[in-house]
A and B are shown apart, each in its own frame.
Chain A
């Protein structure tokens, strides 16, 4: 199977770099899978779980926002935070959910509120996902 070059970078470090078969990315407007030869595109990410499929198996990586670029050279994901599911600190997520809930309580209805609620939903989805995988 043809492979594509995939790089996952967070501000603090280069998390992943190498040849992979497929990457499932949580895009802002829906999840999408990237295979070799994908058309060039740029998209923003929502907080979610990114799945990397290589010949050897699957890696799941939690990304909290960022953006992805597909070019002829491959896929580059620039994430705000990126940790493998095993390393990811659930306490951080819980704390952020708490902060957002407080902010929502204070806000007047409007765009900012809508955005925050979307963000909260995304965070909770990640949390649920992690709870699910932990039980397996």
Chain B
């Protein structure tokens, strides 16, 4: 049986924990709002990029001159998995659900006899994948110290991917990130970026695209556009991830705060009961002592 002092100390520590989780939840809520605004602001660019690229891609599709970033290497042997996760934990299942999706994909590809390479953006994903796939991880890009995700970070990652692609290090690249649906629901998503997969919607604009003039030539424009498109995709993934992370952290911390509250209630109850029992016991001792005289 714990002494009253022990129980007091424990109660105080639970209360302190609750204060921390409560504060983390509020911080996450305000960061979430900022991340959501950023994600929404980036949407028009990505959408228009998709449309324009879809137009040009359908114009050059079928011709032999299509650049490799668009058409792929023609092989399907080496897969690059770009796993984007957070730098910090304490955000529920956010990191592990992305890592799990990547792990399942990796296992499936290995079972098919394909080669895989993993590029991790964010420390947490690397930590989780290192144990099983340590020898496949070719690079870890840490985002620590990055307060607000800018286009520059995405470009950095995209440049690394393009450089490796041009070195013939892989044939197919897939981005893993968490799509932000709502505070309680983030969907881990795999998106193939090299060669890019266009939405079927792009097909409908094909007719209008026929009359475009290109300056410089289509090929040169595509050479410029495709790496940029990759940066945009990575940027979008990072922004969605940032919003998802804060959302996941917010709901995880909300749960933690509630659980701490429940614990405090129970501990206070036991503490008070024990205290009363002690007082009663002492009274009985005094009274029976007095009676015995």
Contact = CB atoms under 8 A, between A and B. Distances in A.
Interface of A: 7, 9-14, 27-29, 39-44, 66-67, 69, 71-72, 76, 78, 80-81
Interface in B32-89: 38, 41-42, 44-46, 48-49, 52, 55-56
Given A12-B41, A42-B221, A44-B224, A69 B216 contact: no
A14 B213 contact: no
B45 A11 contact: yes
B150 interface: yes
Contact of A12 (B42, B211, B215): B42
Nearest to A72: B208
Interface of B: 38, 41-42, 44-46, 48-49, 52, 55-56, 150-151, 154, 208, 211-216, 220-221, 224-225, 228, 231-232, 235
Nearest to B213: A41
B215 A28 contact: yes
Given A10-B151, A12-B151, A42-B212, 11 more contacts: A9-B48, A11-B46, A12-B38, A28-B216, A39-B213, A41-B213, A41-B215, A44-B220, A76-B48, A78-B45, A78-B49
Given A42-B221, A67-B221, A9 B216 contact: no
Contacts of B232: 11
A29 B224 CA distance: 14
A7 B47 CA distance: 13
Contacts of A13: 41-42
A80 B41 CA distance: 14
Contact of B216 (A7, A29, A76, A80): A29
A42 to B, nearest CB: 5
A14 B41 CA distance: 7
Nearest to A9: B45
B212 A41 contact: yes
A41 B151 contact: no
| Chain B binding surface, main DSSP class | helix
B45 A44 contact: no
Given A14-B44, A72-B208, A40 B215 contact: no
Given A41-B215, A42-B221, A11 B208 contact: no
10 contacts: A7-B48, A11-B46, A11-B235, A12-B42, A13-B42, A41-B213, A42-B55, A44-B215, A44-B225, A67-B52
Contacts of A44: 215-216, 220-221, 224-225
Given A40-B211, A41-B213, A78-B45, A12 B150 contact: yes
B45 A42 contact: no
Nearest to B149: A12
B225 A67 contact: yes
Contacts of A10: 45, 151
A13 B44 CA distance: 8
B225 A43 contact: no
Given A12-B38, A29-B215, A67-B224, A42 B52 contact: yes
A69 B213 contact: no
B221 A43 contact: yes
A82 B222 CA distance: 21
B208 to A, nearest CB: 7
A77 B211 CA distance: 19
Contact of A43 (B38, B45, B48, B215): B215
Contacts of A80: 151, 228
B266 to A, nearest CB: 48
4 closest A-B pairs by beta carbon, nearest first, are A41-B213, A11-B151, A43-B215, A13-B41
B41 A42 contact: no
Contacts of B38: 12
Contact of B214 (A11, A12, A42, A81): A42
B42 A78 contact: no
A27 B231 CA distance: 21
B210 to A, nearest CB: 9
Contacts of B215: 27-29, 41-44
